Structure 1
């Protein structure tokens, strides 16, 4: 299986299956000298681990990270950083009958067709637990970005039909509310909707918004490695994400050019935009404004109600999926979107350091 590596300067390679002994990641190319401990990573993993509220699966996993290499005396060494999280709460028996049929909304049929074989225990590599490695790697990137004055903040914008009210936006509420919404009133409404969906043996989807502040103008390449293209690829690679938009996104198709264009002006000696319909990116390159991205997440496909499918013998059957599943994956996916965005930004910022010859000359002159 190829395709488990992403990144150009900082390469992330995730490994492991949902019901194997462990999952993890190898981060190659991360700069030396940054202070790093397991707690720096654990606080991010705690945001995505299961069993934390009624909005998540009851599966209990501590998801404790172990740094296996790449850190010495509390600092990164510049060598590959390997991290793992051991699986401790597998119930593979819950999935034994799945080996004989294809679950609606899952990757089962695609895996069987492609490889002639699949790990049916919770989905194997297509399981949401694969994102553990992404979050661990992205936590490194987010820490380094923070030291450069760049913040990455993702939160739940909507669950089902319930959407946040920006006039009630409270950043502190993101960590406090089980839905990861920055609006406590919307959080309660969403929790009621989640409870109803669970009672109906159904599930919900939603929208995750990510705002990146402090990225200087000039990051991103103008053709295939556009900043928005790299961000979209990173976020679209998350299993449950079905669409990504930047700035005003799909709404721009109904605008006039005079409405969509962001006017430039001078404020306190700096070039600024009067509006931000572009979401901080023009021509694939950052323009110095906040970068705003939204990820649209599908409803959890594992639901307990009766569904129609076929078995491997080609017979039409009805199924009721067993196991411990999230009624909505959005709250736990917030940190996945956030850390994937952090990696994409940092990776392109490293590339940007060599965009001008004067930068290279200055670096080596000053480091003789």
Structure 2
């Protein structure tokens, strides 16, 4: 039912809590004989890990990955690949005062309504830290996709009202992975401003996939764009997804929106590389809207478990903007979706 698992031909199951012993992922269905670069996996983990980015949380986890199964002499065996990372810098005492209070913007209330119990330490299973396991799996998927000529990259293209006007991806070597250097400077300044105000801010992450062959996805329910939207919307901070021109299509005419063709190929890519739910062979382009971090130090109204009104000031170490560390999470979910559909379409060897 997809409680903690994702995918079909490639199934990914994550486990663990924010302040438990650790987190991990089991990848079932990965093809055999792939030589994994463990250093590259760790590099991806370092992009997401707490404490790696001056614009983010001060929690400092090493997020060192240990591979428990599915690898022999550096090659995948075709059996379940299990990766784990242990928590070392959790401050569970930061959450003691929240045991009987529901945090605004968090899953505290809904989690308790569903399960009758909740882990108050950082949100437990509903914490953004769960995405570390996704990044570990995505790092593996990206290596497999790259062996097939498929490249995935993403960056922050908006923070608050600051919008990137350029798409110079070779210039995205900043903390936000923003493809517009001048916009990146303004974004960083805005993030530091809201941090000083004890607040947070949202943004938009754009992801692109190049080298994707035509034919991935199904024409009805398992459309490629539907599955990508599902994958991205499963990230806790994501509140909206658009493919290609997305919502802009609502104000366009067919003559503007249609991707016309000549004998050399498509003349535009308003559809974002997906037509009728199936990849067209063009670059896949999508965007994910990321909400502001709900944990802020400003006073907020809420209620406690006795339904008494309370004023809450959240303590702890939190990101003033989720985007900088979420870029690699978006890339990972896109990679896992594309590899799953690649296996569905072409099998485990091509």
Tell me if both proteins adopt one fold, taking TM over 0.5 as the criterion. yes
For residue 171 of structure 1, report the CA deviation from its aligned partner.
2.6
For residue 122 of structure 2, what is the aligned residue in structure 1?
Answer: 122
For residue 31 of structure 1, what is the aligned residue in structure 2?
Answer: 31
Decide whether aligned partners of structure 1 residues 37 and 262 sit closer, same or farther in structure 2, where only a CA change above 3 A counts: closer
Point out where structure 2 has 5 or more consecutive residues left out of the alignment: none
Q: Which range is displaced more, 135-144 or 101-110?
A: 135-144
For residue 171 of structure 2, what is the aligned residue in structure 1?
Answer: 173
**Alpha-carbon distance in structure 1 between the residues aligned to 2:134 and 2:263:** 39
Point out where structure 1 has 5 or more consecutive residues left out of the alignment: 355-359, 364-368
Q: Is the 8 A contact 1:304 1:320 kept in 2?
A: yes
SS at match of 2:263: strand
SS at match of 2:217: coil
The question of 1:339 aligning with 2:332 is answered: yes
For residue 273 of structure 1, report the CA deviation from its aligned partner.
0.8
For residue 348 of structure 1, report the CA deviation from its aligned partner.
0.6
**Alpha-carbon distance in structure 1 between the residues aligned to 2:183 and 2:49:** 22
For residue 50 of structure 2, what is the aligned residue in structure 1?
Answer: 50
Aligned ranges for residues 96-107 of structure 1 at < 5 Å?
96-107=96-107
**Alpha-carbon distance in structure 1 between the residues aligned to 2:281 and 2:263:** 13
Q: Is the 8 A contact 1:38 1:66 kept in 2?
A: no
For residue 53 of structure 1, report the CA deviation from its aligned partner.
3.0
The question of 1:203 aligning with 2:200 is answered: yes
SS at match of 1:201: coil
Structure showing greater Rg: 1
For residue 246 of structure 1, what is the aligned residue in structure 2?
Answer: 243
Aligned ranges for residues 1-368 of structure 1 at < 5 Å?
3-166=3-166, 169-174=167-172, 176-267=173-264, 272-353=265-346
**Alpha-carbon distance in structure 2 between the residues aligned to 1:139 and 1:184:** 26
Query: CA deviation digits over 1:248-304, x for unaligned, max 9?
Result: 00010111111111101122xxxx210111000000001111100100000000000
For residue 223 of structure 1, report the CA deviation from its aligned partner.
1.0
Query: CA deviation digits over 1:153-197, x for unaligned, max 9?
Result: 11111111111121xx443433x3112212221111111101110
Deviating above 6 A after TM superposition, structure 1's stretches of 4 or more consecutive aligned residues are none
TM-score by length of 1: 0.93
**Alpha-carbon distance in structure 2 between the residues aligned to 1:274 and 1:303:** 46
TM-score by length of 2: 0.97
**Alpha-carbon distance in structure 1 between the residues aligned to 2:315 and 2:19:** 15
SS at match of 2:26: strand
SS at match of 2:27: strand
**Alpha-carbon distance in structure 1 between the residues aligned to 2:165 and 2:98:** 41
SS at match of 2:337: helix
For residue 2 of structure 1, report the CA deviation from its aligned partner.
6.0
Tell me how many residue pairs correspond in the alignment: 350
SS at match of 1:191: helix
Query: CA deviation digits over 1:198-255, x for unaligned, max 9?
Result: 1111101000000111111111111111000111100110000000000000010111
Please provide the CA RMSD for this pair: 1.5
SS at match of 2:177: coil
For residue 128 of structure 1, report the CA deviation from its aligned partner.
0.8
**Alpha-carbon distance in structure 2 between the residues aligned to 1:195 and 1:129:** 22
Q: Is the 8 A contact 1:219 1:286 kept in 2?
A: yes
